[in-house]
Chain A
């Protein structure tokens, strides 16, 4: 029995101080062990902060990001791109995604990428394509983002429209609504895209 009997009563003050300290240490160690296990099962804080904040949307749906408002309004295909350097064809398909965007505070231009159903990403800088114009407050713009993709990447593809660069940025993830039939239409479209006027 822990403590000391005084007459017929045992009081808290009479608990052996050494035993009390050992008990406290055990409680602290148990709490540390539990905390360690909980932390090991939680996602890494720095990774969470760097992860983009995704806003899912459908074709035609307006998405308000932190620095811009974007609406992906259409998707179509092309067989050839007409550029300043001449016509550019592809062994895959040119996918043309039309995006309306407007800055909310600072000048912006869209940074986009196309994500296939399996997660593989297409996009990046294409020297053959004129970059989208800058939008400012009160100056809405429309731009056609051009992606070169293989046939298998069409069905179920989504387009990502990023807000500012950097960790924890917001990104609109827009389902292009490409089913088997529309994928076939895009594959069959062998027209020439003349670029932005």
Chain B
């Protein structure tokens, strides 16, 4: 006559496999988030650099054409101010013009690369400088700034395709510090909140302007 084995219960009998489930779930999550780590995060503004004593320091090397190139830049931004007009332009109907002054500081021999400027309002909507403006009749119209360069003397820059350092033909040496005024047109009721300056993702300077 066979004796029935006393049952220990399903959970007790499978406790080893159940214990293994936890690390397996973690591994599965890591595997399925591979694209997030390798594609999304490095290519999106996911690493804000916030000001210390009013100044943001960007120092991550630039990756251009397979090279890691030294980069060092310090940035400050004034609070956004309402402006009636800027450089002979005003906001189109329904929008309000704001001016944000940004000060850049780096060694004159530091090669630069192109940057992207974006203003965020308090609801998270983003705006580009110089969009939503129109020329004022009778006034001399000038180009509104959209880049980080010192227009008078841009100084050396990295060639984005080769990574080689190139010298501009004119302008002379770039000063160690320069300022650029940016003009943004926001809808009525929206307030500027943060200015973002991106030289290379995922890092960006997050400068409060409110």
Contacts and interface: CB of A to CB of B under 8 A. Distances in A.
Interface of A: 4, 6, 11, 13-14, 103-107, 134, 136-139
Interface in B102-155: 121, 124-128, 131-132
Nearest to A12: B4
A179 to B, nearest CB: 38
Given A136-B132, A137-B190, A138-B187, A106 B126 contact: yes
B92 interface: yes
Given A6-B2, A136-B185, 11 more contacts: A11-B4, A14-B2, A106-B126, A136-B127, A137-B121, A137-B187, A138-B185, A138-B190, A139-B94, A139-B95, A139-B187
Find the residue from A13, A103, A104, A139 having the highest chain B CB count within 10 A. Answer: A139
B8 interface: no
Nearest to A16: B2
Contact of B131 (A4, A6, A139): A139
B186 to A, nearest CB: 7
Contacts of A136: 125-128, 131-132, 185
Contacts of B185: 136, 138-139
B53 interface: no
B124 to A, nearest CB: 7
A4 B185 CA distance: 86
Contact of B126 (A4, A13, A107, A138): A107
A107 B185 CA distance: 12
B98 to A, nearest CB: 13
A134 B131 contact: yes
Contact of A107 (B4, B127, B188): B127
A138 B186 contact: yes
Contacts of B188: 138
Contacts of B127: 107, 136-137
A145 to B, nearest CB: 20
Contacts of B92: 139
7 contacts: A136-B127, A136-B131, A137-B121, A137-B127, A138-B187, A138-B188, A139-B132
A12 to B, nearest CB: 9
A13 B125 contact: no
B43 to A, nearest CB: 11
Interface in B67-94: 92, 94
Contacts of B186: 137-138
Contact of A4 (B2, B5, B121, B124): B2
Interface in B1-40: 1-2, 4-5
A13 B131 contact: no
Contact of B128 (A14, A104, A107, A138): A107
Given A136-B131, A138-B186, A14 B94 contact: no
A150 to B, nearest CB: 37
Contacts of A6: 1-2
Contacts of B95: 138-139
B192 to A, nearest CB: 12
Given A6-B1, A13-B5, A14-B4, A134 B128 contact: yes
